[in-house]
């Protein structure tokens, strides 16, 4: 699904130069669920920004879904983000002025879909996360966990090939965290590749593979036994439909 070879990313200010990624290489297969861990300042966030085409990099090659995306224009990167990538952020990043329906609508608008098609997708995505009844609520009227589920619905509605999650459970309580992880696992089951950055080893265990980053380089790759309870619960929940 994604293949990064010897990527370098340097942040420069007047005084300091920080090499956030150094000769960074990683390959993620289609359908995989990869958790990326590492201490603060290790380059996790940079890795996610580069993967999500939010930032560019100086050297190296990045292939996404069979296409080299290393040196695309800003416009092309916007289009790929819109069509192939879904984002889930630690702080949800819902737009506070828009209600739930309109929030899920945002990526679909930029894809230029017709109104009927957008309506159908929004409806379905919200049903998947169990919030179809809250469509007209504003984000501020929902709990943290519900907001994160809206963010997941927003990512799902775009039918992404790759879902990027940045500490998706960082701002919710542990019970809700588990529920969200189960949702994400379910999405993975239905075929979407998932890359999740987290510092929580407990959450990382939901993934097929753990990648540890330190000083901008992959230091350790570890296959994970699938968390038995997690798998069990996700199946039991039975709410995960391929879209």
Q: Using the rule CB under 8 A, is 139 a contact of another protein? A: no
Assigned token pair, 174: 């542990």
CA–CA distance, 231 with 128 (Å, rounded to integer)? 18
**Closest CB to another protein among residues 90, 233:** 90
Asked if 52 is part of the footprint of another protein (rule: CB under 8 A), the reply reads: yes
In whole angstroms, how close is the CB of 146 to another protein at the nearest point? Answer: 16
Contact call for residues 195 and 164 (beta carbons, < 8 A): yes
By the rule CB under 8 A, 43 interacts with another protein: no
Closer CB to another protein, residue 49 or residue 182? Answer: 49
CB of 231 to another protein, least distance (A): 30
Return the number of the residue (100 or 234) whose C-beta is nearest another protein.
100
DSSP 8-class letter at 43? S
**Mutual angle of helices 115-128 and 100-111, in 10-degree steps:** 130
- Separation of first and last alpha carbons in the chain: 19
13 contributes a contact to another protein by CB under 8 A: no
State the Rg of the chain over Cα: 18
Residue 166 interacting with another protein (CB under 8 A) = yes
Taking CB under 8 A as the rule, does residue 89 contact another protein? yes
Q: Where are the alpha helices (DSSP H) in the chain?
A: 44-51, 74-84, 100-111, 115-128, 144-157, 174-189, 201-204, 228-237
47 sits near another protein (criterion: CB under 8 A): no
Q: Is 176 in the site for another protein (CB under 8 A)?
A: no
Tokens of 54: 């939010």
Tokens of 195: 């890359």
CB of 224 to another protein, least distance (A): 26
Which spans of this chain sit near another protein (rule: CB under 8 A)?
45, 49, 52, 54-55, 74-75, 78-79, 81-83, 87, 89-98, 106-107, 109-112, 154, 158, 166, 171
């Amino acid at each position: 699904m994604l293949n990064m070879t010897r990527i370098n990313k340097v942040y420069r200010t007047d005084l300091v130069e920080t090499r956030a990624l150094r000769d960074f290489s990683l390959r993620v297969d289609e359908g995989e669920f990869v958790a990326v861990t590492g201490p603060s300042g290790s380059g996790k966030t940079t890795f996610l920004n580069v993967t999500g085409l939010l930032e560019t990099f100086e050297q190296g090659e990045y292939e996404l879904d069979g296409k080299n995306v290393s040196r695309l224009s800003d416009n092309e990167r916007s289009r790929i983000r819109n069509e192939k990538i879904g984002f889930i952020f630690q702080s949800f990043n819902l737009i506070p002025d828009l209600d739930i329906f309109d929030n899920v609508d945002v990526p679909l608008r930029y894809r230029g879909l017709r109104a009927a098609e957008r309506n159908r997708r929004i409806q379905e995505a919200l049903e998947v996360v169990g919030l179809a009844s809250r469509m007209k609520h504003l984000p501020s009227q929902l709990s943290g966990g519900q907001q994160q589920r809206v963010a997941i619905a927003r990512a799902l509605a775009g039918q992404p090939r790759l879902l990027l999650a940045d500490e998706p459970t960082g701002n919710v309580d542990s019970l809700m965290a588990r529920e969200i992880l189960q949702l994400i696992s379910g999405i993975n089951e239905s075929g979407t590749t998932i890359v999740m950055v987290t510092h929580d080893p407990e959450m990382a265990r939901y993934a097929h593979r753990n990648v540890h980053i330190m000083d901008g380089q992959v230091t350790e790759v570890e296959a994970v036994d699938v968390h038995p309870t997690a798998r069990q619960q996700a199946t039991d929940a039975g709410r995960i439909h391929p879209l």
